[in-house]
A and B are shown apart, each in its own frame.
Chain A
Amino acid sequence: MSRTMNILTVDLVDSGARYTLREVCERGGCHAELVIKMVSYGIVEPIAPAEGTPELQWEFDVSALARLQKALRLQRDLNINLAGLAMSLDLLDEVEIMRKEIAQLRQQLAQCYGGSSGH
């Protein structure tokens, strides 16, 4: 299935990318109406828009795009409505934070008690 490996050096890295509403729609394969609805449900957030900024001038960062694409996958695969989607994503975030915190606390415990096992 996979062809030969293709190794090249890429140093063009861009962590401050900004996307317009139009661009996130294109990348997510969805309509602007859906994105606007998702924003109103708090599923994704545009970069701090000034009060009354027209939707067409919204901008999104890479994390928001990644979250939108995740939301679209969940909606497509699990048939979740927007309210359910908003809650699922919030809970998933919370679980992720707690997992990390547990891993970190375990690590600190292991350090304190000299256990080399990180379990």
Chain B
Amino acid sequence: MDFKDYYAVLGVSESASPEEIKKAYRKQARKYHPDVSKEENADEKFKDVGEAYEVLKDPEKRAEYDQLRKYGARPDGSFEPPPGWKSASGFGGGGYTEADARQFSDFFEEIFGGGHQRGYSGGGFRQSMRMRGEDVHARLALFLEEVFQGCEKQVSFTVYESDAHGHAVPRQKTLKVKIPAGMREGQHLRLKGQGSPGAGGGDSGDLLLEIELAPHPTFAVEGRDILVTVPIAPWEAALGASVTVPTVGSKVNLKVPKGSSSGRKLRLKGKGFPGQHPGDQIVVLQVVMPEQHTPEAEKLYEQLAEAEKNFNPRSKLHV
């Protein structure tokens, strides 16, 4: 088991005052709250911070922890409590805590005992009470093609089950979910009864899936419209052309009008998000040059420069 340095977690010194500890905790809790933070492992860090504060805010627990920290920690970072260790202040005796202790670490449990109980521990009460299981929230990132056509997706999430002693035990659950076509970003799917199981004959909670769009290498999304940048050659731009452009899951032929500049937008009606009022696909033209020209082509450009010498592409810059 690894030793947890609660002082390092909160970023305070061993001699920090209760006020400093409280302040550090509040700051870290704001920073790593899973509903706020975009940092990786915010969930994990938030739990660590809560656990550290649970110990360091309580003078008795803190004294016990300090003692262990002095004698129990080994140079390699691993930890073994001294033989016969028993906490005097821990949760073992059914002590009340307002913290959600069921997710505390093994390290915490080893020192302070039965952390994996809900706040209001005490056995019989919980057993006999009918309680609905918790809803579980998860996000599901889909590609545009999947959103357009519907798809089947595997979703993994954690639910909490009560064991024989009324302890909440995490369990990994995996479901295959059929996603209907035409979902929008931010919409939710509800899978009835797939959340945490209820207690005392109560119903299971639901799984609530929020749909997200995964970034797409070709297409961008703007409301109900799909944007795609399509490169064209200078002569296609000058003379007009019929070009093949990708749509989500297919392709179409598009007529590029004569004399198109870079940035010109062409609208493909109804090729955006499907639905009652389908969106459009908007093609943005981009004139690109070959990396190298043949001597013949260069000669032609010279002729072109001569023929169009009155054209000033920088007239808007007044130069």
B30 within 8 A of A: yes
Against A, the Cβ 8 Å flags (1 = close, 0 = not) of B31-58 are: 0010110100000001000100000000
Residues of B within 8 A of A9 (CB): 152, 175-178
Complex interface bits, B156-176 against A, C-beta within 8 A gives 1, otherwise 0:
001000000000011111111
Taken together as a complex, chains A and B put the C-alpha atoms of A108 and B179 apart, in Å, by 27
Does A13 contact B172, Cβ atoms closer than 8 Å?
A: no
Q: A107 to B190, Cβ gap below 8 A?
A: no
Return chain B residues, CB-CB under 8 Å to A48.
Answer: none
| Per-residue interface assignment for chain B, residues 187 to 214, with 1 indicating a CB less than 8 Å from any chain A CB and 0 otherwise | 1111110100000000001001010000
**Also in contact, A3 and B172, with CB within 8 A (given A15-B183, A78-B30, A78-B33):** yes
Instruction: Give CA–CA (A15, B135) in the complex, Å.
Output: 15
In the complex with contacts A63-B188, A78-B29, A92-B36, A13-B179 CB distance below 8 A? yes
Assembly CA distance A3 to B222 (angstroms):
42
Q: Tell me whether B11 is interfacial, beta carbon within 8 Å.
A: no
Give the contacting residue for B170; candidates A1, A12, A13, A77; CB below 8 A.
A1
Q: Is B229 an interface residue (CB 8 A)?
A: yes
Known: A15-B183, A15-B187. A73 touches B178 (CB 8 A): no
- A74 at the binding interface (Cβ < 8 Å): yes
CA distance A107 to B227 in the complex (A): 11
B132–A7 CB distance below 8 A: no
State in angstroms the CA–CA spacing of A1 and B104 once bound together. Answer: 13
- Chain B contact residues, majority secondary structure: strand
CB of B137 within 8 A of CB of A26, answer: no
Q: Is A56 an interface position by the 8 A CB rule?
A: no
Q: Is the CB of A104 within 8 A of B191?
A: no
Q: Is the beta-carbon distance between B188 and A5 smaller than 8 angstroms?
A: no
A62 contacts B by Cβ under 8 Å: yes
Give a binary string over A76-109; 1 marks a CB under 8 Å from any B CB, 0 the rest: 0110000000001000100000010001100110
| Interface presence of B278 (CB below 8 A) | no
The answer to whether B135 touches A69 (Cβ under 8 A) is yes
Given contacts A7-B174, A108-B227, contact A27 B188 (CB under 8 A): no
User: CB-CB < 8 A to A13: which residues of B?
Assistant: 177-180, 189-191
Produce 1/0 per residue, A34-69, CB < 8 A to B.
Answer: 000000000000000000000000000011011001
B229 touches A112 (CB 8 A): yes
The reply on B215 being an interface residue by CB < 8 A is yes
A81, chain B: closest CB distance, angstroms = 14
B104 to chain A, nearest CB (A): 13
Are the CB atoms of A27 and B178 closer together than 8 Å?
no
Q: Is there contact, CB below 8 Å, between B170 and A2?
A: yes
Complex: how many Å from CA A107 to CA B33? 28
The complex places the Cα of A15 from the Cα of B207 at a distance, in Å, of 12
Closest A residue by C-beta to B176? A9
Cβ of A31 within 8 Å of any chain B Cβ, yes or no, is: no
Query: Does B221 make an interface contact (CB < 8 A)?
Result: yes
Question: B12 within 8 Å of A by Cβ?
Answer: no
Q: Which residue of B lies closest to A28 (CB)?
A: B135
A26 to B46: give the CA distance in the assembly, Å: 26
Residues of the A chain whose Cβ atoms lie less than 8 Å from the Cβ of B179: 13
B3 to chain A, nearest CB (A): 20
Contact B210 A5 (CB under 8 A): no
B45 to chain A, nearest CB (A): 13
**Complex alpha-carbon distance, A2 and B288, angstroms:** 54
Closest to A14 in B: B190
The answer to whether the Cβ of B275 comes within 8 Å of any Cβ in the partner chain is: no
> Could you show 16 A-B contacts with beta carbons less than 8 Å apart?
A3-B172, A5-B172, A6-B174, A7-B154, A9-B176, A10-B176, A11-B177, A13-B190, A15-B188, A66-B137, A70-B35, A73-B35, A74-B35, A77-B50, A78-B26, A104-B221
Residues of B within 8 A of A (CB): 26, 29-30, 33, 35-36, 38, 46, 50, 132, 135, 137, 152, 154, 158, 169-180, 183, 186-192, 194, 205, 208, 210, 215-218, 220-222, 227-229, 284, 286, 288
Given contacts A7-B176, A78-B30, A88-B36, 4 further A-B contacts (CB under 8 A): A9-B176, A13-B178, A111-B229, A112-B286
